[in-house]
Amino acid sequence: MQIIERTCLENLFDLLKARGYDLFGPVARDGAIVYDQIDHVTDMPIGWHDRQEKGTYRLEKTSGSSVFAYAVGPYSWKKFLHPSAHLLWKAARTENGFELIKDEEPEKRKPAFIGVRACELNAILIQDKVFLGGQAVDSNYQANRAGAFIVAVNCTHPAGTCFCTSMGTGPKAKNGFDISLTELIEGGNHYFIAEAGSEKGADILLQIPGRPAAENEIAAGDDALKQSSEKMGRKLDTENIKELLYANADSPVWDEVANRCLSCGNCTMVCPTCFCTTVEDKTDLTGQHTERWSKWDSCFSLDFSYIHGGNVRTSVKSRYRQWMTHKLAAWIDQFGTSGCVGCGRCITWCPVGIDITEGLAAIRNNQTEKNNEI
Ligand code: SF4
Ligand code: SF4
């Protein structure tokens, strides 16, 4: 482990840029922390903190110098790896039919993602399984993911809606990163404990001015992460979660939630693991040109479950139940892991404050009451 002084963080940016990476990281914009292209450390939300609760997100600017003292915002890294819309192909009419048009692809620089939280890193690893781990590989995701450099940030400022500790996905990044950073500010000292997670990362770290971490600094980092674990705003009991949800398709809790749910799909748009898409064809008015696009879809949209001339999930209840049961139970059968990393976004960005942790706890309580009656 190595200590990088705050004043040397820019060296990391310079080294990555010199190696052909475009940098993407958090910026404070439009009242939220969002991810976008960045060039310098000063582009990041220095001194900003967030407050999150169900259906609530507020940013506050302080005079502090912290670089990463906030939790995740509405965007996740799927914005870059699995964008909300991308062109699959386009074609022009010809005398005998049509021909596909292939544009010259501009040369793409590799992305370096700066400030990836442990929960988000786990979400990327889950999407790797979905898009790259099966028989059919998603070539768009594969191209976006190839060569990405990941600078993870161990999270010391969890939000009121976070529960990564319950899901075993944070607050410390364990694998899947090139470099991880733990930010510490003690008195007048502002520094990062940096750890390499790959050869690429180790090679970069060697070139940043720094020194080996002292025992007391490592202990301070561990302590900050222990406190972070204890400060998580939410908890989710994962014991027998799959069996619990499979056995409760008829729980009255689904009706209660469905009475409030607007079926707006916000929870699936902000979720870093949700991956469903639809396909849209666009033909211009001349009829000479057509394009096929892939776009994010949601299990909350009616069209999404339209199969063979009919919709198989016509009620909001059936759509909410599908989302939560897939996320927390069926995903385990399908991909060998939960589909939830405990980032809390679906709770913060639900306009009516529906909370996945409360929903699961209610189903569990209901089941316990039923068991007690027997
Ligand atoms: S279900 Fe909610 S808490 Fe879980 S990963 Fe998705 S957005 Fe985050
Ligand atoms: S749970 Fe909330 S965010 Fe999700 S569809 Fe229902 S109202 Fe929208």
On whether residue 53 sits in a domain, the answer given is yes
Q: Is the model's pLDDT at 104 over the cut of 90?
A: no
Ligand 1 centroid–CA 286 distance in Å is 43
> CB of 115 closer than 6 A to ligand 2?
no
- The pLDDT, as a whole number, for residue 133 is 94
- Which residues is 196 bridged to in the sheet? 179
Ligand sitting nearest the alpha carbon of 233: 1
- The pLDDT, as a whole number, for residue 10 is 97
Mutate to test the pocket of ligand 2, among 320, 324, 348, 350 (most ligand atoms within 8 A of CB): 350
d(CA 221, CA 17): 28
On whether residue 35 sits in a domain, the answer given is yes
Q: What's the whole-number average pLDDT of the chain?
A: 96
In this structure, the residue with its CA closest to atom 8 of ligand 2 is 264
* 329-374 per-position pLDDT tens digit: 999 999 999 999 999 999 999 999 999 999 999 999 999 888 888 7
Calculate what percentage of the chain has a pLDDT beyond 90: 94
* 127-162 per-position pLDDT tens digit: 999 999 989 999 999 999 999 999 999 999 999 999
- The pLDDT, as a whole number, for residue 373 is 83
Give yes or no: residues 25 and 164 share one domain: yes
d(CA 24, CA 357): 31
Give yes or no: residues 250 and 209 share one domain: no
Ligand 1 centroid–CA 196 distance in Å is 28
Amino acid at 31: G
The dihedral formed by the CA atoms of 319, 322, 327 and 328, expressed in degrees to the nearest 10: 130
On whether residue 236 sits in a domain, the answer given is no
On whether residue 204 sits in a domain, the answer given is yes
- Which residues is 117 bridged to in the sheet? 153
Give yes or no: residues 260 and 226 share one domain: no
Closest CA to 287 of 95, 92, 103: 92
* 296-328 per-position pLDDT tens digit: 999 999 999 999 899 999 999 999 999 999 999
Ligand 1 centroid–CA 103 distance in Å is 37
* 212-257 per-position pLDDT tens digit: 999 999 999 999 999 999 999 999 999 999 999 999 999 999 999 9
Alpha helices in 6-160 (DSSP H): 9-18, 78-81, 118-132, 139-145
Ligand 1 centroid–CA 340 distance in Å is 5
Q: Please tell me what DSSP assigns to residue 189.
A: E
Ligand 1 centroid–CA 343 distance in Å is 5
| Nearest ligand 1 atom to alpha carbon 161 | 3
- 352: three-class secondary structure by DSSP: coil
Q: Which of 230, 256, 286 is the last residue of a domain?
A: 230
Give yes or no: residues 255 and 225 share one domain: no
Q: How many domains would you assign to the chain?
A: 2
Give yes or no: residues 254 and 143 share one domain: no
Q: How confident is the model at residue 188 (pLDDT cuts 50, 70, 90)?
A: confident
> CB of 210 closer than 6 A to ligand 2?
no
Give yes or no: residues 98 and 21 share one domain: yes
Amino acid at 144: N
> CB of 354 closer than 6 A to ligand 2?
yes
In this structure, the residue with its CA closest to atom 2 of ligand 1 is 346
Ligand 2 centroid–CA 156 distance in Å is 28
Ligand 2 centroid–CA 358 distance in Å is 14
Give yes or no: residues 177 and 300 share one domain: no
On whether residue 259 sits in a domain, the answer given is yes
Ligand sitting nearest the alpha carbon of 356: 1
Label the pairing between strands 179-186 and 149-153. Answer: parallel
On whether residue 320 sits in a domain, the answer given is yes
Q: Cα separations (Å) of 2 from 63, 205, 217, 243, 343?
A: 27, 8, 10, 44, 28
Ligand sitting nearest the alpha carbon of 260: 2
Mutate to test the pocket of ligand 1, among 77, 232, 343 (most ligand atoms within 8 A of CB): 343
On whether residue 334 sits in a domain, the answer given is yes
On whether residue 235 sits in a domain, the answer given is no
Longest CA span, the chain: 75
Q: Is the model's pLDDT at 19 over the cut of 90?
A: yes
d(CA 28, CA 22): 19
Question: 54 near 348, Cβ under 8 Å?
Answer: yes
Give yes or no: residues 349 and 212 share one domain: no
d(CA 81, CA 290): 25
Q: Which of 209, 230, 251 is the last residue of a domain?
A: 230
Give yes or no: residues 26 and 146 share one domain: yes
Give yes or no: residues 143 and 176 share one domain: yes
- The pLDDT, as a whole number, for residue 109 is 85
Residue 300 structural domain: 241-373
Ligand 2 centroid–CA 310 distance in Å is 23
Label the pairing between strands 32-37 and 289-296. Answer: unpaired
In this structure, the residue with its CA closest to atom 2 of ligand 2 is 350
- The pLDDT, as a whole number, for residue 76 is 97
Q: What is the pTM of this model?
A: 0.95
Q: Which of 211, 230, 249 is the last residue of a domain?
A: 230
Length reported for the chain: 374
| Nearest ligand 1 atom to alpha carbon 339 | 5
Rounded to the nearest 5 percent, the helix, strand and coil shares of the chain are 35, 25, 40
d(CA 103, CA 33): 34
Q: Is the model's pLDDT at 187 over the cut of 90?
A: no
C-alpha Rg value of the chain to the nearest Å: 23
Please give all residues whose beta carbon lies within 6 A of any atom in ligand 1, as ranges.
270-273, 327, 340-346, 356
* 33-85 per-position pLDDT tens digit: 999 999 999 999 999 999 999 999 999 999 999 999 999 999 999 999 999 99
Give yes or no: residues 13 and 125 share one domain: yes
d(CA 118, CA 124): 10
Give yes or no: residues 222 and 245 share one domain: no
